[in-house]
Amino acid sequence: MPNSTPFLAARNVSQIVANPQATQADDLHILDDVNFTIEAGESVAIVGASGSGKTTLLGMMAGLDSPSHGQLFLANKDLTKLDEEGRAELRKHQVSFIFQKFQLLPSLTAIENIMLPLEVKGSSDANTLATQYLNHVGLAQRGHHYPNQLSGGEQQRVAIARAFAAQAPILFADEPTGNLDTQTGDHIVELLFELNQQHHTTLVLVTHDLNLAQRCQRRLTLNAGQLTERLDA
Protein backbone atom coordinates (compact mmCIF):
# COMPACT_ATOMS: atom_id res chain seq x y z
CA MET A 1 0.00 0.00 0.00
CA PRO A 2 1.54 3.38 -0.95
CA ASN A 3 2.47 5.84 1.78
CA SER A 4 -0.19 8.57 1.85
CA THR A 5 1.89 10.82 4.11
CA PRO A 6 3.36 13.70 2.05
CA PHE A 7 7.13 14.05 1.72
CA LEU A 8 7.14 17.81 2.42
CA ALA A 9 3.89 19.66 3.05
CA ALA A 10 2.05 22.36 4.95
CA ARG A 11 -1.59 21.87 5.86
CA ASN A 12 -3.47 24.93 7.11
CA VAL A 13 -0.30 26.30 8.71
CA SER A 14 -0.54 29.55 10.63
CA GLN A 15 2.02 31.31 12.79
CA ILE A 16 0.61 33.89 15.17
CA VAL A 17 2.51 36.07 17.64
CA ALA A 18 0.28 37.27 20.46
CA ASN A 19 0.39 40.89 21.57
CA PRO A 20 0.01 40.76 25.38
CA GLN A 21 -0.73 44.50 25.52
CA ALA A 22 -3.66 44.40 23.10
CA THR A 23 -6.69 42.40 22.04
CA GLN A 24 -6.59 39.18 20.02
CA ALA A 25 -7.48 41.19 16.92
CA ASP A 26 -4.08 42.90 17.19
CA ASP A 27 -2.09 39.63 17.18
CA LEU A 28 0.55 39.42 14.45
CA HIS A 29 -0.27 36.82 11.79
CA ILE A 30 3.11 35.93 10.26
CA LEU A 31 1.64 33.00 8.29
CA ASP A 32 -2.05 32.59 7.58
CA ASP A 33 -3.53 29.21 6.56
CA VAL A 34 -0.69 28.14 4.22
CA ASN A 35 -1.11 24.92 2.18
CA PHE A 36 1.25 23.22 -0.28
CA THR A 37 2.94 19.89 -1.05
CA ILE A 38 6.48 19.29 -2.32
CA GLU A 39 7.51 15.96 -3.82
CA ALA A 40 10.87 14.27 -3.22
CA GLY A 41 13.47 15.51 -5.70
CA GLU A 42 11.67 18.76 -6.56
CA SER A 43 13.28 22.19 -6.57
CA VAL A 44 10.99 24.89 -5.19
CA ALA A 45 11.57 28.61 -4.61
CA ILE A 46 9.65 30.58 -1.98
CA VAL A 47 9.45 34.20 -3.08
CA GLY A 48 7.79 37.36 -1.79
CA ALA A 49 8.49 40.76 -0.32
CA SER A 50 10.48 41.25 2.89
CA GLY A 51 8.30 40.50 5.88
CA SER A 52 5.96 38.17 3.98
CA GLY A 53 6.87 35.16 6.14
CA LYS A 54 9.33 33.36 3.83
CA THR A 55 12.11 32.72 6.35
CA THR A 56 9.61 31.82 9.07
CA LEU A 57 8.03 29.22 6.78
CA LEU A 58 11.41 27.80 5.73
CA GLY A 59 12.49 27.38 9.35
CA MET A 60 9.28 25.61 10.28
CA MET A 61 9.53 23.29 7.27
CA ALA A 62 12.98 22.26 8.55
CA GLY A 63 11.63 21.61 12.03
CA LEU A 64 13.42 24.56 13.61
CA ASP A 65 10.15 26.01 14.90
CA SER A 66 6.55 24.87 15.34
CA PRO A 67 3.41 26.47 13.88
CA SER A 68 0.65 27.97 16.00
CA HIS A 69 -1.87 25.94 14.02
CA GLY A 70 -1.81 23.29 11.30
CA GLN A 71 0.46 20.42 10.30
CA LEU A 72 3.92 20.29 8.73
CA PHE A 73 5.43 17.19 7.14
CA LEU A 74 9.15 16.55 6.65
CA ALA A 75 10.49 13.38 5.03
CA ASN A 76 7.10 11.68 5.46
CA LYS A 77 6.97 12.52 9.18
CA ASP A 78 4.42 14.77 10.87
CA LEU A 79 6.61 17.37 12.59
CA THR A 80 3.76 18.54 14.78
CA LYS A 81 3.71 15.12 16.48
CA LEU A 82 7.41 15.23 17.37
CA ASP A 83 9.02 16.90 20.36
CA GLU A 84 12.15 19.03 20.01
CA GLU A 85 14.44 16.01 20.42
CA GLY A 86 12.52 14.07 17.78
CA ARG A 87 12.72 16.97 15.32
CA ALA A 88 16.47 17.31 15.94
CA GLU A 89 17.00 13.61 15.26
CA LEU A 90 15.01 13.85 12.02
CA ARG A 91 17.01 16.89 10.89
CA LYS A 92 20.31 15.13 11.60
CA HIS A 93 19.57 12.47 9.01
CA GLN A 94 17.36 14.30 6.51
CA VAL A 95 18.20 18.02 6.38
CA SER A 96 20.96 20.43 5.43
CA PHE A 97 20.32 24.15 5.92
CA ILE A 98 22.09 27.17 4.43
CA PHE A 99 21.42 30.07 6.79
CA GLN A 100 21.30 33.66 5.63
CA LYS A 101 23.57 34.64 8.55
CA PHE A 102 26.02 31.75 7.90
CA GLN A 103 25.87 30.24 11.45
CA LEU A 104 29.53 29.23 11.38
CA LEU A 105 31.13 28.37 14.73
CA PRO A 106 33.78 31.05 15.38
CA SER A 107 36.10 28.68 17.28
CA LEU A 108 36.36 26.26 14.33
CA THR A 109 38.29 26.71 11.10
CA ALA A 110 36.52 26.61 7.75
CA ILE A 111 37.37 22.94 7.22
CA GLU A 112 36.31 22.08 10.78
CA ASN A 113 32.96 23.84 10.31
CA ILE A 114 32.31 21.71 7.23
CA MET A 115 33.43 18.52 8.98
CA LEU A 116 31.21 19.05 12.04
CA PRO A 117 27.86 17.73 10.69
CA LEU A 118 29.71 14.83 9.05
CA GLU A 119 31.30 13.88 12.36
CA VAL A 120 27.93 14.12 14.10
CA LYS A 121 26.65 11.56 11.59
CA GLY A 122 29.65 9.32 12.30
CA SER A 123 31.27 9.73 8.87
CA SER A 124 34.64 7.96 8.58
CA ASP A 125 35.85 10.24 5.78
CA ALA A 126 34.74 13.64 7.10
CA ASN A 127 38.01 15.36 6.26
CA THR A 128 38.05 14.03 2.68
CA LEU A 129 34.46 15.10 1.99
CA ALA A 130 34.93 18.49 3.65
CA THR A 131 38.05 19.14 1.55
CA GLN A 132 36.21 18.12 -1.62
CA TYR A 133 33.35 20.53 -1.05
CA LEU A 134 35.63 23.34 0.11
CA ASN A 135 37.33 22.98 -3.28
CA HIS A 136 33.93 23.05 -4.99
CA VAL A 137 33.23 26.52 -3.63
CA GLY A 138 36.68 27.84 -4.52
CA LEU A 139 38.21 28.05 -1.02
CA ALA A 140 40.85 25.33 -1.16
CA GLN A 141 43.48 27.70 0.29
CA ARG A 142 41.27 28.99 3.12
CA GLY A 143 40.48 25.77 4.98
CA HIS A 144 42.57 26.61 8.06
CA HIS A 145 41.22 30.13 8.45
CA TYR A 146 38.64 31.02 11.11
CA PRO A 147 35.35 32.75 10.23
CA ASN A 148 36.59 36.14 11.47
CA GLN A 149 39.47 35.85 8.99
CA LEU A 150 37.10 35.37 6.06
CA SER A 151 35.02 37.91 4.16
CA GLY A 152 31.24 37.72 4.26
CA GLY A 153 31.15 36.08 0.85
CA GLU A 154 33.78 33.52 1.89
CA GLN A 155 31.82 32.70 5.05
CA GLN A 156 28.71 32.12 2.95
CA ARG A 157 30.64 29.77 0.68
CA VAL A 158 31.86 27.80 3.70
CA ALA A 159 28.25 27.54 4.90
CA ILE A 160 27.20 26.28 1.47
CA ALA A 161 30.06 23.77 1.37
CA ARG A 162 28.97 22.51 4.81
CA ALA A 163 25.44 21.94 3.51
CA PHE A 164 26.66 20.16 0.37
CA ALA A 165 29.08 17.93 2.27
CA ALA A 166 26.37 16.57 4.57
CA GLN A 167 24.69 15.03 1.50
CA ALA A 168 21.26 15.16 3.14
CA PRO A 169 18.15 14.27 1.11
CA ILE A 170 16.65 17.72 1.71
CA LEU A 171 18.45 21.04 1.36
CA PHE A 172 16.85 24.24 2.67
CA ALA A 173 18.52 27.52 1.71
CA ASP A 174 17.71 31.01 2.99
CA GLU A 175 18.97 33.57 0.44
CA PRO A 176 21.95 31.37 -0.54
CA THR A 177 23.45 33.96 -2.90
CA GLY A 178 22.43 37.08 -0.98
CA ASN A 179 25.95 37.88 0.29
CA LEU A 180 27.89 36.88 -2.81
CA ASP A 181 29.15 38.81 -5.82
CA THR A 182 27.56 37.99 -9.16
CA GLN A 183 30.28 35.65 -10.39
CA THR A 184 30.48 33.67 -7.15
CA GLY A 185 26.69 33.66 -6.87
CA ASP A 186 26.36 32.19 -10.35
CA HIS A 187 28.84 29.44 -9.42
CA ILE A 188 26.91 28.63 -6.25
CA VAL A 189 23.63 28.47 -8.19
CA GLU A 190 25.18 25.91 -10.55
CA LEU A 191 26.35 23.86 -7.56
CA LEU A 192 22.91 23.96 -5.96
CA PHE A 193 21.21 22.60 -9.05
CA GLU A 194 24.00 20.10 -9.75
CA LEU A 195 23.39 18.65 -6.28
CA ASN A 196 19.63 18.69 -6.83
CA GLN A 197 19.84 16.85 -10.15
CA GLN A 198 22.71 14.41 -9.59
CA HIS A 199 21.74 13.28 -6.10
CA HIS A 200 17.95 13.70 -6.43
CA THR A 201 18.07 16.14 -3.54
CA THR A 202 14.93 18.04 -2.67
CA LEU A 203 15.82 21.74 -2.83
CA VAL A 204 13.69 24.40 -1.14
CA LEU A 205 15.03 27.94 -1.13
CA VAL A 206 13.99 31.44 -0.14
CA THR A 207 15.24 34.13 -2.47
CA HIS A 208 14.67 37.67 -3.69
CA ASP A 209 16.56 36.76 -6.88
CA LEU A 210 13.93 36.01 -9.53
CA ASN A 211 16.60 34.58 -11.85
CA LEU A 212 17.47 32.03 -9.16
CA ALA A 213 13.78 31.36 -8.51
CA GLN A 214 13.17 30.70 -12.19
CA ARG A 215 15.78 27.93 -12.13
CA CYS A 216 13.50 25.99 -9.77
CA GLN A 217 10.72 23.73 -11.03
CA ARG A 218 8.09 25.62 -9.05
CA ARG A 219 7.65 28.91 -7.21
CA LEU A 220 5.50 29.54 -4.16
CA THR A 221 4.68 33.22 -3.62
CA LEU A 222 3.93 34.57 -0.15
CA ASN A 223 2.17 37.87 0.34
CA ALA A 224 1.67 39.13 3.91
CA GLY A 225 1.76 35.56 5.22
CA GLN A 226 -0.63 34.13 2.64
CA LEU A 227 0.22 31.85 -0.25
CA THR A 228 -1.17 33.84 -3.15
CA GLU A 229 0.36 32.10 -6.17
CA ARG A 230 1.67 28.74 -7.16
CA LEU A 231 3.41 28.90 -10.53
CA ASP A 232 5.41 26.52 -12.64
CA ALA A 233 8.79 28.14 -13.27
Q: Is residue 203 a part of any domain in this protein?
A: yes
Structurally, the chain folds into a number of domains equal to 1
Q: Is residue 25 a part of any domain in this protein?
A: no
Domain boundaries, position 220? 40-64+81-232
**Residue 149 maps to which CATH number?**
3.40.50.300
Q: Is residue 132 a part of any domain in this protein?
A: yes
The whole-angstrom separation of Cα 176 and Cα 160 is 8
Stated pTM of the model: 0.87
Q: Is residue 143 a part of any domain in this protein?
A: yes
Crossing angle of helices 110-120/152-166, nearest 10°? Answer: 20
Q: Is residue 165 a part of any domain in this protein?
A: yes
Q: Is residue 26 a part of any domain in this protein?
A: no
Q: Determine whether 93 is exposed, middle or buried from the number of CB atoms within 10 Å of its CB (0-12, 13-18, 19+).
A: exposed
| Residue partners of 69: CB distance under 8 A and separation at least 6 | 12, 13, 14, 16
The one-digit pLDDT tens for each residue of the chain (233 residues) are 345 778 999 999 999 887 666 555 567 788 999 999 999 999 999 999 888 889 999 999 999 989 999 999 999 999 999 999 999 999 988 999 988 888 999 999 999 999 998 998 888 899 999 999 999 888 999 999 999 999 888 998 899 899 988 888 999 999 988 877 888 788 888 888 887 787 788 999 999 888 889 899 999 999 888 887 655 54
